[in-house]
């Protein structure tokens, strides 16, 4: 059994139990809570739950993250969280279970009890997660499956769990064999049931980039530039095709939004990728280049550059993550722009239009907390057509290069 005990003080714990036992314990816990909270009131308060969030944790470390994150989410949104960890087979024993609860007491509303059910599944039962999970799901609210690490795309284990889920949440930045896994993830959309949504935390992390790029084209007088883009460049950390997923997602997002068609792509030494897209009657050149990692995570995007011309006016947009400090002639350093003292995470946007003075804009980035990312993602649902289109286009690019 795992060295990590799921909970310090679970409300209930059983080894070698059945799902029926877990359901029985849950019913008892809910009933006791409702009775306790009712006090002298004639009516008990209804139980509130907005979703079931299932975290599949392949390792002990993932289990810790899943529990911490789902509990953090539960404190903001009344939810039932289930964390599942696959364990080594034990003869005649399929399931160990823990139930913990957190009670939230909003000032203006009745108390809400959030449940975390931790299941350690032994042996073959883990191949049948759908059957294991289905009875535990809260009816009438969405069920999200958050698979930490690398989901077994195409395998029965995942397909079985997806049968009972409305959305799959992954983090393609955490994939092992990211190149293969990313392509399998993209192909999954073609076979998933139509209700099933797919979300990627890496896509969520790219949101500030997408917003910065979109904001450039938002003013009506700049819309014309969308049809005049001739170059797109993305800098990323690390080498190898598996590190180009974030760069490909940004490219896929722009390409799918503007109707570009991939004509050809090739990868060269040093992490360079060159691709040509057809945009109406024009070509758009796309280049990826690998930059030194420094303190960046492999695969992280560090800069996006877009250039072109329309209506006789040239334009250039550069968005840079945490840009390096520039040096003046005397060798003393200065910052590109003001930074907040408590963080160095900024996006710098440089805009050059025609002969005008360059415009600079600094955007402070929020810490990339997994719980915050998940909350944001789940609050808007996992059915995101923009992501789906971007994913398909990114997959084409990854595959071609």
Partner 1 sequence: MVIFGATGDLSGRKLLPALYNLAKQRSLPAGFAVLGAAMSDLTDGAFRKMASEKIHQFSRTQPIDERVLAPLLDLLFYVKVDFSQQDEFRKLGRKLQELDDARHTTGNRIFYCATPPQTYSLIAQQLMAAGLHAGKGFHRIVVEKPFGTDLQSARELTQTLQKAFPEDAVYRIDHYLGEETVQNILALRFANSIFEPVWNANLIDSVQITIAEEIGIENRGRYYDTAGALRDIVQNHGLQLVTLTAMEPPLAFEAGAVRDEKVKVLRSIRPLIGEDIEQSTVRGQHTSGWVLGQQVVAYREEKDVAADSQTETFATLRLFVDNWRWAGVPFYIRAGKRMPKRVTEIRIQFKRPPHLTFGREAMKEVDPNAITLRIQPEEGISLKFGAKVPSAGLRIRSVTMDFQYVTSFLVEAPEAYERLLLDCMIGDPTLFTRADEVEAAWMLIDPIENAWRSGRPPLAMYPAGTWGPDEAAQLLKADGREWHRP
Distance of alpha carbon 235 from alpha carbon 100, whole angstroms: 45
Using CB under 8 A, which of 31, 103, 191, 324 touches partner 1? 31
How many residues interact with partner 1 (rule CB under 8 A)?
39
Query: How far, rounded to the nearest angstrom, does the alpha carbon of residue 309 sit from its chain's CA centroid?
Result: 34
DSSP 97-164: EEEEEEEE--TTS--EEEEEEEEEEEGGGGGGHHHHHGGGSPTTS-EEEEE-S---TTSHHHHHHHTT
Residue 132 touching partner 1 (CB under 8 A): yes
Residue among 93 and 180 whose Cβ is closer to partner 1: 93
252-273 burial: b if 16+ Cβ within 10 Å, else e = bbbbbbeebebeebebeeebeb
Min dist CB 113 to partner 1, Å, is 11
Min dist CB 84 to partner 1, Å, is 11
Positions 145 through 164 that interact with partner 1 (CB under 8 A): 163-164
Residue among 49 and 265 whose Cβ is closer to partner 1: 49
266 beta partners: 274
Part in contact with partner 1 (CB under 8 A); list of ranges 4-12, 37-45, 269-277, 315-323: 37-45
Q: β-strands 143-147, 51-57: how paired?
A: parallel
Distance of alpha carbon 229 from alpha carbon 218, whole angstroms: 15
Exposed (0-12), middle (13-18) or buried (19+): which is 383, by Cβ within 10 Å? middle
Residue 295 touching partner 1 (CB under 8 A): no
Min dist CB 319 to partner 1, Å, is 22
Residue 374 touching partner 1 (CB under 8 A): no
Using CB under 8 A, which of 8, 9, 39, 46 touches partner 1? 46
Using CB under 8 A, which of 4, 29, 131, 392 touches partner 1? 131
Residue 76 touching partner 1 (CB under 8 A): no
Part in contact with partner 1 (CB under 8 A); list of ranges 70-78, 129-137, 182-190, 315-323: 129-137
Min dist CB 11 to partner 1, Å, is 17
Distance of alpha carbon 278 from alpha carbon 259, whole angstroms: 9
Part in contact with partner 1 (CB under 8 A); list of ranges 25-33, 65-73, 276-284, 336-344: 25-33
Q: β-strands 282-291, 95-104: how paired?
A: unpaired
Using CB under 8 A, which of 14, 58, 89, 130 touches partner 1? 130
Residue among 120 and 205 whose Cβ is closer to partner 1: 120
Residue among 67 and 94 whose Cβ is closer to partner 1: 94
Contact 216, 270 (CB under 8 A): no
Residue 93 touching partner 1 (CB under 8 A): no
Residue 13 touching partner 1 (CB under 8 A): no
Part in contact with partner 1 (CB under 8 A); list of ranges 73-81, 214-222, 261-269, 373-381: 373-381
Cα torsion through 35, 39, 45, 47, rounded to 10? -40
């Amino acid at each position: 059994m795992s060295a990590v005990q799921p909970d310090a003080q679970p409300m209930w714990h059983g080894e070698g139990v059945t799902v029926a036992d877990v359901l029985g314990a849950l019913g008892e816990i809910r009933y006791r809570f409702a009775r306790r909270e009712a006090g002298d009131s004639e009516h008990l308060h209804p139980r509130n739950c907005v979703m079931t969030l299932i975290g599949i944790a392949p390792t002990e470390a993932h289990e810790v993250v899943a529990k911490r994150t789902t509990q953090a989410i539960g404190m903001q949104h009344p939810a039932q969280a289930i964390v599942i960890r696959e364990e080594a087979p034990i003869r005649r024993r399929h399931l160990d279970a823990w139930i913990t609860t957190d009670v939230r007491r909003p000032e203006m509303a009745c108390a809400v009890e959030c449940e975390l059910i931790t299941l350690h599944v032994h042996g073959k039962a883990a191949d049948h997660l759908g059957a294991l999970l289905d009875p535990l799901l809260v009816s009438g609210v969405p069920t999200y499956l958050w698979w930490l690490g690398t989901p077994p795309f195409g395998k029965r284990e995942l397909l079985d769990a997806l049968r009972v889920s409305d959305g799959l949440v992954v983090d393609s930045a955490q994939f092992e064999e990211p190149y293969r896994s990313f392509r399998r993830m993209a192909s999954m959309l073609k076979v998933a049931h139509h209700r099933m949504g797919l979300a990627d935390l890496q896509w969520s992390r790219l949101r500030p980039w997408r917003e910065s790029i979109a904001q450039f084209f938002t003013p009506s007088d700049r819309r014309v530039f969308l049809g005049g883009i001739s170059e797109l460049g993305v800098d990323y950390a690390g080498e190898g095709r598996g590190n180009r997923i974030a760069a490909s997602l940004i490219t896929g997002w722009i390409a799918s939004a503007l109707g570009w068609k991939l004509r050809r792509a090739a990868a060269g030494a040093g992490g360079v990728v060159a691709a040509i897209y057809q945009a109406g009657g024009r070509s758009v050149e796309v280049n990826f280049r690998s930059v030194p990692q420094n303190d960046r995570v492999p695969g992280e995007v560090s800069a996006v550059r877009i250039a072109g011309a329309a209506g006789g006016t040239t334009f250039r947009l550069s968005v840079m993550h945490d840009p390096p400090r520039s040096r003046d002639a005397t060798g003393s350093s200065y910052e590109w722009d003001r930074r907040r003292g408590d963080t160095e995470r900024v996006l710098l946007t440089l805009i050059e239009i025609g002969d005008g003075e360059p415009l600079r804009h600094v955007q402070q980035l929020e810490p990339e907390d997994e719980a915050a990312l998940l909350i944001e993602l789940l609050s808007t649902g996992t059915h995101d057509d923009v992501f789906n289109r971007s994913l398909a286009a990114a997959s084409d690019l990854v595959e071609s290069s």
